[in-house]
Amino acid sequence: MKTDTIYPKVREIVADVLAFDEEEIQRDGSLVNDYSAESIDFLDLVYQLEREFKIKIPRGMIEQEARHGLSDEEFEENGRLTDKGLEQLRAFLSEVPEDRFTPRMQVALIPTLFTVETICKIVLREQERAEQAAST
């Protein structure tokens, strides 16, 4: 698994930001449901990750990438995921346990799905983008 190389550092940062012992932080742990992360914690977490890994994590990036070409109407309707949007999100967040996805889920609840592994994947994706940009 590619995330193995960065997982220890991500785990350390997550534990520090959310005030947990590192041993309590698990790859499949939900940042919101298991570790009680709030909006301010996400901001701090992104800041720490950007600093440590020398990357930039754009705001709203996960939702944007999860849409993967779907129009707003195809992805959501009245603030809730469509069936197509939910299917797309499941595929994009493949590390998230299936039972955490619910039909007609509110788009605002997408961050509640994020796990420590999700954060690792974000970091890797942004590192790859930075490397590609530097080589062009």
19-34 pLDDT per residue, tens? 999 999 999 999 999 9
What are the residue ranges in the chain where pLDDT is below 70? 1
In this prediction, residue 47 carries a pLDDT of 95
Nearest C-alpha neighbor of 121 from the set 67, 70, 57, 68: 57
C-alpha distances out from residue 112 to 32, 53, 61, 83, Å: 5, 24, 15, 18
Q: Are 45 and 17 in contact (CB under 8 A)?
A: yes
Give the domain ranges of the chain.
Answer: 2-135
d(CA 92, CA 55): 21
Token pair in block for residue 17: 């930001």
In this prediction, residue 63 carries a pLDDT of 78
Beta bridge mates, 81 = 76
Q: Are 103 and 86 in contact (CB under 8 A)?
A: yes
Query: Could you tell me which CATH number the domain at 2-135 has?
Result: 1.10.1200.10
In this prediction, residue 40 carries a pLDDT of 94
